[in-house]
Amino acid sequence: MPHVHKMLKWLELAGMMMVALIFVFPFVWMFLTSFKSLQEVIQFPPQWLPETWLWENVVKAWDSGPFLTYFSNSVLVALSILILQFLTGVPAAYAFARYRFKGRNWLFGLSLIALMIPPQITFLPVFLELSQWKLINTLWALILPYSASAFGIFLLRQAFMQVPEEIVEAARLDQASEWQIMWNLMVPMARPVLVTFGLFSFIYHWNDYFWPLVMTNQELVRTLPIGIAMLKQSEGGVAWHIVMAGNLILVLPILLIFFLAQRQIIRAFVYSGVK
Amino acid sequence: MALPAIFIVGVLFVYPFFLSLMNSFKVKDGWGWDHYKTVFELYTGDLLYTVWISVASLAILLVFGILLGGYLRFRHNGWIEFLFKIPLFIPFVVVGHAMRVLLAPNGTLNASLAALGVIDLQNPPSIAFSSAGIITALAWKNLSLALLLLMGAFRSIDQNFIDAARNIGANYLRILFTVMVPMAKGSIAVSAVLIFTSMMGSFSIPMMLGTTEGSQMAMVDLYYQIVYQNNYGAANAIGVISYLISMGAAMYYLRTVTKR
């Protein structure tokens, strides 16, 4: 029996290692490719580890365009969207969670409908709308359309609904205004959900390729994913090692944020009880 | 309080969608169904293919997600919990390229299987550049989000229910499928709707892992209509149809949420 038990343990461990490998494969591949020569990238059978670690690939990727501009644009766009989404999403979620008013369900339904519209479907009318406002080729074209998030409203509403009514009533008895209740009571109680939503939003807009591609065509307002795609085109044939070094630059900042915030993520989904 | 957000959602999501809807009916001399007729003539197969790919990816994803989420509910494993979140921050483009390297006829998977003597490299099977490649990549990319939602739901279940089932002799799989899954039905439905709609609108992965011949996914057709045909009416019609299919899947959930 102890033998069987031990074998089962090993099987479990092997199974989990397989699962882990499946999860990390694209990341590991991207990381290793970033430091290979082009010859090593395209050779068959594939070679996992680089013969010599070519750290200069990262420098080459960075130097092949105005990457500092792309980087700061990405930071500015992703952070501005995040702040605007919090400022518009928190009051909306609070109203949907705690107030009874005429048309509440209808308006909430409307925002959920928006949750399910892929950007590819609406980009053409939005593009025309923004060009009428003369915002194409500005960072506003990347920020404004995402300044409210239906997913954020939905997630925060779920979290706010879980706060017991007695706590809110107690705050009202203490003369707290609705804004104070919302910002000083509800928001701190929903912290894991806020962190998780913030992370999701930041990652999505940091990695977004489609929207900046269709809304900008000048280097001054381009973001990192577009810069990396241009890298692919400017190298003639596809220089995967340089492209992946560019992608490494793209992924590293969010990996760092992810390390700092990842403990909050599961708590958020347990807390908000999305259902 | 809700007005600023509703205003933005209205002006930048709902209004453009209605414009898109109107443009899908606009023809040279007024209004008509011409674009829809064109789309159904050319792309009925592709629309069904898109639904099929999305459903198949979702089914695989849910099976893996439920089994793994259940396992992690029973046995806390910090490393696996950390690793499974990695797909969340990998850009779609990287996933596409990595899957091409892994699943191509001369890719890493076949090279490893050949080294083990399982396949012959003279005639290697290819998962990439086929429906299986798209399904694998879509399932992989969305597994993290599904797991997060499912684990959240499984961890919200009162331990007493699980202990009670265990005390009467239920094993892991029985507890998972007869206690935990029914109790997390709502969260599983949300995950399914969110992921299905995102798969219906997927573009980068089908572009990179699909074939140039045969059926294409709807967003690839939409892209071709805009870029190569300059037929915005047909592109809008494809968009509207895709959206209605996603909405159909979400109707049940929307009804239950707005009723609360």
What pLDDT score was predicted for residue A274?
46
Q: Is the peptide bond preceding residue A45 cis, with omega within 30 degrees of 0?
A: yes
The CA-based diameter of chain B, rounded to the nearest angstrom, is 73
Whether A72 contacts chain B with CB within 8 A: no
**Residue A271, pLDDT above cutoff 60:** no
Q: How many CB atoms lie within 10 A of CB B14?
A: 17
What pLDDT score was predicted for residue A71?
93
3-state secondary structure of B229: coil
Of the candidates A122, A229, A251, which has its C-beta nearest B17's C-beta? A122
Which of the two residues, B64 and B194, has the higher pLDDT score? Answer: B64
**Residue A275, pLDDT above cutoff 50:** no
Report, as an integer, the average pLDDT of A207-235.
82
| Contact call for A46 and B101, based on CB within 8 A | yes
C-alpha–C-alpha distance, residues A35 and A248, integer Å? 10
What pLDDT score was predicted for residue B73?
87
Question: Is residue B26 within a helix (H) or strand (E), and if so which, with residue range?
Answer: strand B26-27
What pLDDT score was predicted for residue A261?
73
Tens-digit pLDDT profile for residues A82-118: 999 999 889 888 888 888 888 787 788 777 777 666 6
Q: What is the CATH number of the domain that holds A130?
A: 1.10.3720.10
Contact A111, A91 (CB under 8 A): no
Contact A19, B82 (CB under 8 A): no
Whether B108 contacts chain A with CB within 8 A: yes
Q: From the CA of A97, how many Å to the nearest CA of chain B?
A: 10
Report, as an integer, the average pLDDT of B33-56.
92
Of the candidates A109, A112, A269, which has its C-beta nearest B151's C-beta? A269
What pLDDT score was predicted for residue B57?
95
What pLDDT score was predicted for residue A223?
93
Sequence-ordered alpha helix ranges (H) in A99-180: 104-115, 119-132, 140-143, 150-161, 165-173, 178-180
Report, as an integer, the average pLDDT of B219-243.
84
| Contact call for B187 and A265, based on CB within 8 A | no
**Residue B239, pLDDT above cutoff 50:** yes
Tens-digit pLDDT profile for residues B173-229: 899 999 999 998 877 887 888 888 888 888 878 887 777 777 889 888 887 887 788
Which of the two residues, B129 and A201, has the higher pLDDT score? Answer: A201
Q: Which of residues 196-225 of A touch B (CB under 8 A)?
A: 200, 203, 207, 209-210, 225
Question: Is residue B181 within a helix (H) or strand (E), and if so which, with residue range?
Answer: helix B181-183
What pLDDT score was predicted for residue A115?
65
Angle, helices B218-227/B34-74, rounded to nearest 10 degrees: 140
What pLDDT score was predicted for residue A59?
93
| Contact call for B82 and A203, based on CB within 8 A | no
| Closest residue in B to A148 (Cα–Cα) | B5
Confidence of residue B97 (pLDDT cuts 50, 70, 90): confident
Q: In a 10 Å sphere around its CB, with 0-12 CB exposed, 13-18 middle and 19+ buried, how is residue A169 labelled?
A: exposed
Of the candidates B89, B95, B148, which has its C-beta nearest A258's C-beta? B89
Report, as an integer, the average pLDDT of A231-251.
76
C-alpha–C-alpha distance, residues B184 and B92, integer Å? 29
Report, as an integer, the average pLDDT of B17-46.
88
Tell me, yes or no, whether A79 lies in a domain: yes
Contact B20, A124 (CB under 8 A): yes
| Chain CA centroid to CA A140, Å | 19
**Residue A58, pLDDT above cutoff 80:** yes
User: Where does B52-212 sit in CATH, by number?
Assistant: 1.10.3720.10
Which of the two residues, B249 and A69, has the higher pLDDT score? Answer: A69
Report, as an integer, the average pLDDT of B130-148.
87
Confidence of residue B144 (pLDDT cuts 50, 70, 90): confident
Task: Determine the structural domain holding residue A146 and report its residue range.
Answer: 64-272
Give percent above pLDDT 70 in chain A: 88
Domain count, chain A: 1
Confidence of residue B152 (pLDDT cuts 50, 70, 90): confident
One-letter amino acid of B140: W
Tell me, yes or no, whether A4 lies in a domain: no
Mean of the per-residue pLDDT values of chain A:
83
**Residue B105, pLDDT above cutoff 90:** no
Q: What are phi and psi of B31, to 5 degrees?
A: -125, 150
Report, as an integer, the average pLDDT of B93-111.
75
| Closest residue in B to A253 (Cα–Cα) | B89
Confidence of residue A232 (pLDDT cuts 50, 70, 90): low
What pLDDT score was predicted for residue B2?
65
Tens-digit pLDDT profile for residues A115-167: 666 676 677 778 878 888 899 999 999 999 888 888 888 888 888 888 888 88
Tell me, yes or no, whether A18 lies in a domain: no
Q: What are phi and psi of B26, to 5 degrees?
A: -80, 125
DSSP secondary structure code for residue B86 in this structure: G
Contact A257, A202 (CB under 8 A): yes
Mean of the per-residue pLDDT values of chain B:
82
| Contact call for B81 and A266, based on CB within 8 A | yes
